Amino acid sequence: MRPRARLLAAFAVLALAIGPSIAEARPGGGFSSGSRGSRSYSPPPSTRTAPGTANPFNRTETPRPGTNTPAPGYAQPRPSPSYTTPNRGGMFGGGFMSGLMGGLLGAGLAGMIFGHGAFGGMSGGAGFLGFLLQLALIAGIIWFVLRALRNRSTSPAMAGATPNGAPNGAYARTMDDGNAMGRGAGARTATRALQITETDFAAFENSLIRINQAWSARDTGALSRIATPEMVRYFEGDLRDLAARGWHNETRDVRLESGDLSEAWAEDGMEYATVAMRFSMIDVTRDASGQVVEGDPNTRQTATEIWTFVRRPRDAWLLSAIQQVG
């Protein structure tokens, strides 16, 4: 490969590597980050502003239901658990059948090694035919027993559905008269509906503008006054990543185009509100010399995200989560 071709290939690889980081440089970095209390692992209901499904958190400090271990800050979302009977022993199903097949195969291999044939020896065509019949008979017995065991252990629920009727891979939703229960949780967290007023909606819009202003100014002190400590840690990490590349993202002239409430509730002495917001802005990323590396300072961009706010009763709302819409 000529030097020029190698150089172009290297630039292409570099562009692919850093492309996502540049394209999603606004607050939140294009990730789904933060926490929604006991509903962190439940999807917020869709709205007219955001009719799609919110992406699950790939950055959260909320422990998964049934565990005491917080998810790593930058961990990818874990796969949804299956409600079908797991296969625990490789292709033979595990347990008794695994031991049975292991014994039969072990005996067959031992026979071959010591010269007695797979199952005690076989002579000529008749012996080989008998050997094949034995294998077919054993396979048939194994298939019959495995099928019987699966039929007995599988729940009567519809195949491919979770116990609450949602498809496999979906999130668990609110159950039993408003008590939210995360999938796999051993206990319920009592919640109650919360009324959101026009004053609250005005506060959410104001937070959208203030978060972007503080982000553009790289003012983590201001961010700490309007976001939870968890979200501030994500903002600080994203700002460090940009600074390490010599970049600075600026979002300005932020305007809320439309927004509506997804859900609001109270639990454990805290109040939560999740709102869908579609907003437009000037979103530009510059390098250390001030040159634009992404975005257009003269063209507005539009984004739709789902933001969750939290507060103690009568305190100010704090941003606790940003989720992207799938």
Q: What is the CATH number of the domain that holds 319?
A: 3.10.450.240
198 and 151 within one domain = no
Residue 65: predicted pLDDT: 83
Q: Do 236 and 313 lie in a common domain?
A: yes
Q: What is the per-residue pLDDT for 101?
A: 46
Per-residue model confidence as pLDDT tens digits over 273-306: 999 999 999 999 999 999 999 999 999 999 999 9
What percent of the chain is modeled with pLDDT above 70?
A: 57
State residue 137's pLDDT score: 72
**For residue 295, is it within any domain?**
yes
**What is the pLDDT of the chain when averaged over all its residues?**
73
Q: Are residues 163 and 198 in the same domain?
A: no
pLDDT tens readout for residues 83-95: 233 333 333 333 3
Whether residues 166 and 243 fall in one domain: no
Domain shared by 292 and 257, yes or no: yes
Confidence (pTM): 0.60
Q: So what's the pLDDT on residue 3?
A: 55
Q: How far apart are the first and last CA of the chain?
A: 41
- Confidence tier at 237 by pLDDT (50, 70, 90): very high
Same domain, 319 and 203: yes
247 pLDDT exceeds 60?
Answer: yes
59-72 burial code (b ≥16 CB/10 A, e <16) = bbbbebbeeeeebe
Residue at 241: amino acid letter: D
* pLDDT surpasses 60 at 63: yes
Residue 97 belongs to some domain of the structure: yes
Q: How confident is the model at residue 124 (pLDDT cuts 50, 70, 90)?
A: low
Per the structure, how many domains does the chain have? 2
Amino acid at 78: R
Domain extent, residue 307, equals 30-56+191-324
Angle at 181 between CA 177 and CA 182, to 5 degrees: 150
Q: How far apart are CA 226 and CA 247, in angstroms?
A: 24
Are residue 125 and residue 269 in the same domain, yes or no?
Answer: no
Across residues 60-78, what is the average pLDDT?
63
219, part of any domain: yes
**Residue 275: φ, ψ to 5°:** -130, 145
Identify whether 166 is part of a domain. yes
Q: Do 122 and 269 belong to one domain?
A: no
Same structural domain for residues 123 and 271? no
Q: What integer pLDDT is reported at residue 72 of this predicted model? A: 46
* pLDDT band per the 50, 70, 90 thresholds, residue 138: confident
Rounded CA separation 288/244 (Å): 11
Q: What is the pLDDT of residues 24-38, one digit of tens each?
A: 789 998 899 999 999
- Output the CA torsion sign for 295, 298, 302, 305: positive
CA distance 66 to 69: 9
Which letter, b or e, does each residue of 252-288 get, where b requires 16 or more Cβ atoms within 10 Å of its Cβ? eebebeebebbbbbbbeeebbbbbbbbbebbbbbbee
Contact status, residue 66 vs residue 184, Cβ threshold 8 Å? yes
